[in-house]
Amino acid sequence: MTTAEGVVRGGAVPGDVVTAVGLTKRYRNSDRPAVDDVSFEIARGETIGLLGPNGAGKTTLIKMICGVTVPTSGHIRVFDADPVRRPVAAKSGIGAMHQTGPFDMMLPGLDNLRIAARFRGLRWRDAEPWALEVADFLGLTGALHRLCFQMSGGQRQRLQLVRALLTIPRLLILDEPSAGLDVAGRRQVERFVTWLREEHGVTVLWTSHHIDELERNSQRVLVIDRGRVLRFAKPREIVEEFGTTHLLVTVEDPEASRVVAAWADAAGLTTTVSDFEVRLEGARARDVLTELSRHCRDHGVAISGVSTVADSLEQAFLRMTENER
Ligand SMILES: Nc1ncnc2c1ncn2[C@@H]1O[C@H](COP(=O)(O)OP(=O)(O)OP(=O)(O)O)[C@@H](O)[C@H]1O
């Protein structure tokens, strides 16, 4: 069913939360599909990072999973139901936070949650304990009584998360949950995703332009570009396939950095230079160290350290998408 690249060739297997086969969406008046013949499956309990450049088709894919956008062709099943034909069966287990979602800015956060519960046919007294637990986890308890326009952007972003989670979903879809959050806020969202998976068995599909977040917290990453799946694999596997290792040379002053960089340029190596570090792309220590050390000694500069650094998922992703252009 699943090839080495993680692409579904058949139908759903029991326990799959989402199955897409040949899924395509072509918007009217557009010259190419936004999502183009995409096939994948998400198993129960997985945390899946959805990764792609701007305009890759991530939001369109999410909208088809949520039954908001009708596919042009192909099949999508969520909890073994078609989200357009059997919306209740497919959507009742989904909690989704989209990039934008309006609040009534003149009402307190708590009232916005109450209204959202009513819209979703939930009694507030049923939804409240869990909503407050989520708010507490996100450090939002104190801010819930503030009018929305008096909240900071980060607090409103967290409120979006609470609103997406008025019940414990079986599938949580988060479209850039950490947009606009500071470093501490982003870490909090990461802990939140882990908590939902580990404590509550929630399957998570999330996007982020902070690729390090996806790398740390996703079991698999679905990489799409121009509507097509490039890879669906573990972050480590993607780094191994597309990444490279670098030699990081640290020096004690900017002049030494310039000497190392000049030598590396002359040796035909690609470098990234800062005042106290020179990164030699793709270089192997045993190939360059003797010659580089001699060169530095001849120019009266000292190398203070040398280490090998592996690419991150972000670097592997850039390399992968560059290859496609
Ligand atoms: N309603 C629409 N009508 C026509 N074209 C659309 C519509 N929505 C999206 N598109 C186009 O479909 C393509 C994919 O857009 P989509 O929003 O799915 O990408 P994305 O990966 O979510 O991008 P981003 O990271 O910038 O949010 C883009 O070329 C976009 O211009």
Separation of 56 CA from ligand 1 center, angstroms?
Answer: 7
Position 1: which residue type?
M
DSSP structure class, residue 253: S
Q: Residue 52: CB within 6 Å of ligand 1?
A: yes
Output the CA torsion sign for 116, 118, 120, 122.
positive
What pLDDT score does 100 carry?
63
Separation of 300 CA from ligand 1 center, angstroms?
Answer: 55
Kindly give the number of the ligand 1 atom that is closest to the alpha carbon of 32: 29
Q: Pick the residue with more confidence: 101 or 261?
A: 261
Give the closest residue (by CA) to ligand 1 atom 12.
34
Pairing of strands 47-51, 35-43: unpaired
pTM recorded for the entire structure: 0.82
Query: Which residue is listed with tokens 């998976």?
Result: 197
In this predicted model, what pLDDT tens digit does every residue of 123-156 receive, in sequence order?
999 999 999 999 999 999 999 999 999 999 999 9
Position 181: which residue type?
L
Position 316: which residue type?
A
Separation of 26 CA from ligand 1 center, angstroms?
Answer: 10
Separation of 178 CA from ligand 1 center, angstroms?
Answer: 20
ipTM of the complex: 0.98
Q: Which domains does the chain have, with CATH numbers?
A: 16-240 (3.40.50.300), 241-310 (3.30.70.790)
User: Is the separation of the CB atoms in 278 and 249 below 8 Å?
Assistant: yes
Q: Residue 57: CB within 6 Å of ligand 1?
A: yes
- In sequence order, what are the residues at sequence separation of 6 or more whose Cβ sits closer than 8 angstroms to the Cβ of residue 308? 245, 246, 247, 248, 285
DSSP structure class, residue 141: G
State both tokens at 171: 């599938």
Separation of 231 CA from ligand 1 center, angstroms?
Answer: 20
Distance between CA 194 and CA 50 in Å, rounded? Answer: 16
In this predicted model, what pLDDT tens digit does every residue of 169-211 receive, in sequence order?
999 999 988 888 899 889 999 999 999 999 999 999 999 989 9
Give the closest residue (by CA) to ligand 1 atom 10.
34
Grouping H, G, I as helix, E, B as strand and the rest as coil, residue 310 is strand
DSSP labels, 28-63: TT-SS-SEEEEEEEEETT-EEEEE--TTSSHHHHHH
Give the closest residue (by CA) to ligand 1 atom 28.
55
Q: Residue 148: CB within 6 Å of ligand 1?
A: no
Number of residues assigned to the chain: 325
φ and ψ at residue 140, rounded to 5 degrees: -110, 0
In this predicted model, what pLDDT tens digit does every residue of 248-302 receive, in sequence order?
999 999 999 999 999 998 888 888 899 999 988 866 667 788 889 899 999 999 8
Kindly give the number of the ligand 1 atom that is closest to the alpha carbon of 209: 25
DSSP structure class, residue 2: B
Distance between CA 77 and CA 90 in Å, rounded? Answer: 8
DSSP labels, 148-201: GGGS-HHHHHHHHHHHHTSS--SEEEEESTTTT--HHHHHHHHHHHHHHHHHH-
Distance between CA 210 and CA 14 in Å, rounded? Answer: 32
Query: Which residue is listed with tokens 């001699």?
Result: 294
Kindly give the number of the ligand 1 atom that is closest to the alpha carbon of 52: 21
